[in-house]
């Protein structure tokens, strides 16, 4: 049972890393489930956030437009839950779960948290992005299962974890 995490401080860098990795794994025919994020329409303060449900699911917009003067969280919690349900529908046969981020909702017990726990409990390796704000909540959740995955070695970690899980 492994829960690998990646952290990159640059805005959007973890999203790009995980999306590219997921695409390469799926192109190789590997059974991957999860969700990766892409950001579009960015201005200095806001981006539109979309989750691509893996391996073949819909793209779900998880951000909402609160207006130019807004400074609060733009996450659409209902849309996030739709993405979670779509991922759950695609879990059968998965040998790896990739999730874009252990965010505020996961730190509060919502979002992908239950799915992550079920995957890890079933022995399916999990790779997830973390951020500074929810870092401690992630470590509280994952405990000693948390393994830092080097950014330049993420694909090697995934392949090794999948091979170990297949044994």
CATH of the domain at 42: 3.40.50
Residue 44: helix, strand or coil by DSSP? coil
pLDDT band at 49 (very low <50, low <70, confident <90, very high): confident
Torsion, Cα 16 146 85 41, to 10 degrees, reads -20
* Cα distance between residue 98 and residue 33, in whole Å: 6
Residue 101 pLDDT greater than 70, yes or no: yes
Residue 62 pLDDT greater than 60, yes or no: yes
DSSP 10: S
* Cα distance between residue 8 and residue 133, in whole Å: 13
Which residues constitute the domain of residue 152? 3-166
Question: Quick one: average pLDDT of 114-126?
Answer: 95
pTM: 0.91
Residue % of the chain over a pLDDT of 90: 78
Residues 6+ apart with CB under 8 A from 146: 3, 5, 138, 139
Residue 66 pLDDT greater than 90, yes or no: no
Residue 17 pLDDT greater than 90, yes or no: yes
Decide: 51 and 83 in contact? Cβ < 8 Å: yes
HSE-CB at 152 with a 13 A cutoff on CA atoms is 0
Q: Which two tokens stand for residue 120?
A: 């890890």
Number of domains in the chain: 1
Question: Quick one: average pLDDT of 78-93?
Answer: 96
């Amino acid at each position: 049972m492994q829960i690998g995490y990646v952290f990159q401080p640059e805005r959007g860098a973890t999203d790009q890393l995980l999306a590219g990795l997921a695409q390469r794994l799926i192109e190789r025919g590997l059974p991957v489930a999860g969700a990766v994020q892409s950001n579009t329409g960015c201005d200095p303060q806001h981006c539109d956030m979309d989750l691509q449900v893996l391996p073949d699911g819909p793209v779900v917009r998880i951000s909402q437009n609160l207006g130019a003067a807004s400074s609060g969280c733009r996450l659409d919690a209902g849309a996030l839950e739709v993405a979670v349900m779509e991922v759950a529908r695609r879990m059968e046969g998965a040998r790896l779960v990739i999730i874009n981020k252990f965010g505020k909702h996961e730190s509060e017990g919502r979002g992908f948290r239950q799915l992550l726990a079920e995957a890890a409990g079933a022995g399916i390796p999990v790779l997830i992005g973390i951020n500074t704000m929810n870092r401690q909540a992630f470590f509280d959740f994952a405990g000693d299962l948390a393994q830092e995955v080097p950014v330049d070695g993420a694909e090697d970690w995934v392949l090794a974890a999948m091979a170990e899980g297949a044994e």
